[in-house]
């Protein structure tokens, strides 16, 4: 498999079908393939050679879509960068990867000089935004207009497709190396499950989650393999999503829980026709059962699928399908392994744990990363005997359904008892005044750690710490209930929409 395969397939079978819609621009498979081939030749003319790294720091766009094809077409390696990072973090990733060419859009063009100064190996900046390019940058559209079409080298298989940097929660970001085969295996495994997108139907997939993130990229990859149409929004905005779904008759959504929360809370939700949505894929972080029920009510015609995984797994490990969402006892599950994966639970010695016992989730399959770029020790710690050690705690039930309880390092030990934040978050979220919450452990002189809930209330709602605590005690053990509650206007989130618990903990460390 190779990342450009879906583009070639669409060019052969449906060349005039609309492949991409972004803002006021729409292009067919034939038009996209022509522009990609020219952009690839432009990269080669700029000095990009086999295996060179080419980075993108930009919001979602049609040019991001073309970059994802053109870089492997030119036999090079993708390095999509987190748009929420600081200059120092971006500079670290560029230097660590040895990136020589960087694409910047109008939202990030002001960083050009600083990044060139931080990264001496960076030979070329390509401006991929609208309007005039900065003085020190080459214009994207000039490259496409002025270059002849290059032949696709069909870089693929076990060759490196991209370096995808993790958030750096425990030090410098780690560059996850994914092969073409690993990414395609993950996407095809999800499609083969029958839950993700629908082969044989006209898929119109909305991309509002950031394309630098593997969750957003997986939706892009699956839709490409099926010959679907990509409807691209620069960033997530509830009203923009509503409008795009209505005007473009979007059939498939891929979102993270914080985005779903923003949509169901928005007062304009009922003003738009969202009836075209037939499937909603969510993942990247836990979702409360209350939010899931509200989302299902907002999109009653949509079949919901949950995906669990991580960047190192390209990114999907397990799937919980639409039918399983109708079974109350499975709604808190992450589903069963995707067709391409094996999943098991191991104890501290590495031995497989009995069903129902919490341990570390480990995964094996063709979607597992090659390793961490320039980090052999971290690679050896994560990849052991063919299994990827996720760092997540969970258990398998008698039927092989995976229940994720927490990041192992996020588990709260209070008074000698283990408390898993996801369980407490679900209990807090069932309070009618709560819009969202995050639960962390904070230092406590008596108990070692205290269960602390950070809560966002719904507009106009009111609740006290005692009311939240009493509500939680009605559904889970008293020692798991928050010892303290903090009310905030919003939770800190990453560019991919994950709640940044490390930022919450920093207030107490």
Taking residues 337-343, report their average pLDDT: 96
Taking residues 489-496, report their average pLDDT: 84
Question: Tell me, what's the pLDDT at 201?
Answer: 63
Of 78, 249, 220, the residue nearest 155 (C-alpha): 78
Helix (H, G, I), strand (E, B) or coil at 179: strand
Tokens representing 294 are 């509200």
Of 330, 283, 321, the residue nearest 302 (C-alpha): 321
In angstroms, the CA 51 to CA 330 distance is 44
What class does CATH assign to 29-156?
alpha beta
For 70, the enclosing helix (H) or strand (E) is: helix 62-73
442 has a pLDDT exceeding 60: yes
Question: Tell me, what's the pLDDT at 286?
Answer: 61
308 has a pLDDT exceeding 90: yes
Residue 295 to residues 247, 308, 331, Cα–Cα distance (Å): 21, 18, 13
Question: Tell me, what's the pLDDT at 100?
Answer: 97
Taking residues 175-204, report their average pLDDT: 87
Domains 29-156 and 411-506 alike in fold: no
8 A C-beta contact, residue 18 and residue 6? no
Tokens representing 34 are 């022509």
140 has a pLDDT exceeding 70: yes
Least confident of 134-143, 157-166, 322-331: 322-331
Of the candidate CATH numbers 3.40.630.30, 1.10.540.10, 3.40.50.1980, 3.40.50.12780, the domain formed by 181-407 belongs to 3.40.50.12780
Question: Tell me, what's the pLDDT at 383?
Answer: 98
8 A C-beta contact, residue 236 and residue 209? yes
For the stretch 234-285, pLDDT in tens is 999 999 999 999 999 999 999 988 889 899 999 999 999 999 999 999 986 6
Question: Tell me, what's the pLDDT at 500?
Answer: 86
Tokens representing 389 are 């050690």
In angstroms, the CA 223 to CA 187 distance is 9
Tokens representing 409 are 């390092």
Classify domain 411-506 by CATH number: 3.30.300.30
Residue 328 to residues 279, 289, 325, 335, 422, Cα–Cα distance (Å): 20, 10, 7, 13, 17
**Confidence class for position 506, pLDDT limits 50, 70, 90:** confident
8 A C-beta contact, residue 307 and residue 196? yes
Task: Round the average pLDDT of the chain to a whole number and report it.
Answer: 93
- 303 CB contacts (<8 Å, ≥6 apart)? 195, 278, 279, 280, 321, 322, 325
For the stretch 21-67, pLDDT in tens is 999 999 999 999 999 999 999 999 999 999 999 999 999 999 999 99
Between CA 108 and CA 116, with CA 110 as vertex, the angle to 5 degrees is: 95
Please report, rounded to a whole number, the percentage of residues in the chain having pLDDT higher than 90. 78
In angstroms, the CA 398 to CA 353 distance is 12
Backbone angles phi, psi at 31, to 5 degrees: -65, -40
Question: Tell me, what's the pLDDT at 167?
Answer: 64
Question: Tell me, what's the pLDDT at 238?
Answer: 97
Specify the residue for token string 């985005």: 259
**Confidence class for position 418, pLDDT limits 50, 70, 90:** confident
In angstroms, the CA 90 to CA 134 distance is 19
Question: Tell me, what's the pLDDT at 445?
Answer: 78
Positive or negative: CA dihedral 133, 78, 54, 76: negative
The count of other CB atoms within 10 Å of the CB of residue 395 is 18
In angstroms, the CA 20 to CA 211 distance is 14
Taking residues 405-432, report their average pLDDT: 86
Please report, rounded to a whole number, the percentage of residues in the chain having pLDDT higher than 70. 97
Residue 502 to residues 353, 361, 414, 493, Cα–Cα distance (Å): 29, 21, 19, 10
Question: Tell me, what's the pLDDT at 170?
Answer: 43
- 349 CB contacts (<8 Å, ≥6 apart)? none
8 A C-beta contact, residue 15 and residue 166? no
97 has a pLDDT exceeding 70: yes
8 A C-beta contact, residue 351 and residue 332? no
Domains of the chain, residue spans:
29-156, 181-407, 411-506
Question: Tell me, what's the pLDDT at 447?
Answer: 82
Question: Any idea how long the chain is?
Answer: 509
Question: Tell me, what's the pLDDT at 494?
Answer: 77
């Amino acid at each position: 498999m190779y990342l450009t395969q879906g583009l070639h397939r669409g060019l052969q079978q449906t060349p005039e079908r609309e492949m991409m819609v972004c803002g006021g621009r729409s292009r067919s498979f034939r038009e996209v393939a022509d522009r990609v081939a020219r952009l690839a030749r432009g990269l080669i003319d700029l000095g990009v050679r086999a295996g060179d790294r080419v980075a993108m720091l930009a919001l979602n766009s049609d040019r991001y879509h073309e970059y994802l094809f053109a870089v492997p077409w030119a036999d090079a390696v993708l390095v999509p960068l987190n748009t929420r990072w600081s200059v120092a973090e971006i500079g670290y990733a560029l230097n660590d990867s040895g990136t020589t060419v960087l694409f910047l859009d109008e939202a990030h063009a002001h960083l050009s000089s600083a990044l060139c100064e931080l990264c001496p190996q960076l030979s070329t900046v390509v401006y991929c935004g609208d309007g005039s390019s900065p003085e020190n940058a080459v214009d994207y559209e000039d490259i496409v207009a002025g270059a002849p079409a290059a032949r696709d080298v069909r870089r693929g298989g076990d060759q490196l497709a991209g370096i995808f940097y993790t958030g750096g929660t425990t030090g410098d970001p780690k560059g996850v190396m994914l092969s073409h085969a690993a990414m395609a295996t993950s996407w095809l495994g999800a499609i083969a499950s029958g839950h993700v997108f629908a082969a044989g139907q006209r898929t119109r997939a909305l991309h509002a989650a950031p394309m630098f993130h593997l969750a957003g990229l997986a939706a892009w990859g699956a839709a490409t393999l099926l010959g679907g149409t990509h409807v691209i929004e620069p960033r997530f905005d509830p009203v923009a999503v509503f409008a795009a779904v209505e005007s473009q008759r979007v059939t498939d959504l891929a979102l993270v829980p914080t985005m779903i929360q923003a949509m169901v809370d928005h007062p304009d939700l009922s003003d738009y026709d969202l009836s075209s949505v037939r499937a909603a894929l969510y993942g990247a972080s836990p979702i409360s059962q209350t939010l899931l029920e509200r989302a299902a009510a907002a999109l009653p015609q949509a079949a919901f699928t949950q995906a669990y995984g991580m960047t190192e797994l390209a990114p999907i490990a397990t799937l919980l399908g639409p039918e399983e969402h109708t079974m109350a006892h499975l709604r808190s599950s992450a589903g069963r392994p995707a067709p391409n994966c094996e999943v098991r639970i191991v104890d501290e010695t590495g031995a497989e744990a009995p069903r129902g016992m919490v341990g570390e989730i480990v995964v094996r399959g063709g979607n597992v990363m090659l390793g961490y770029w320039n980090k052999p020790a971290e690679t050896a710690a994560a990849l052991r005997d063919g299994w990827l050690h996720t760092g997540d705690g969970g258990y398998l039930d008698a039927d092989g359904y995976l229940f994720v309880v927490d990041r192992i390092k996020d588990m709260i030990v209070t008074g000698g008892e283990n408390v898993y934040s996801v369980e407490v978050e679900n209990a807090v979220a069932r309070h009618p005044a709560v819009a969202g919450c995050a639960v962390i452990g904070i230092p406590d002189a008596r108990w070692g750690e205290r269960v602390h809930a950070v809560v966002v209330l719904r507009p106009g709602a009111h609740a006290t710490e005692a009311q939240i605590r009493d509500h939680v005690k009605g559904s889970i053990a008293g020692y798991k209930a928050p010892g303290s509650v903090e009310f905030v206007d919003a939770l800190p989130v990453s560019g991919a929409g994950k709640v940044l618990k490390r930022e919450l903990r920093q207030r107490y460390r």
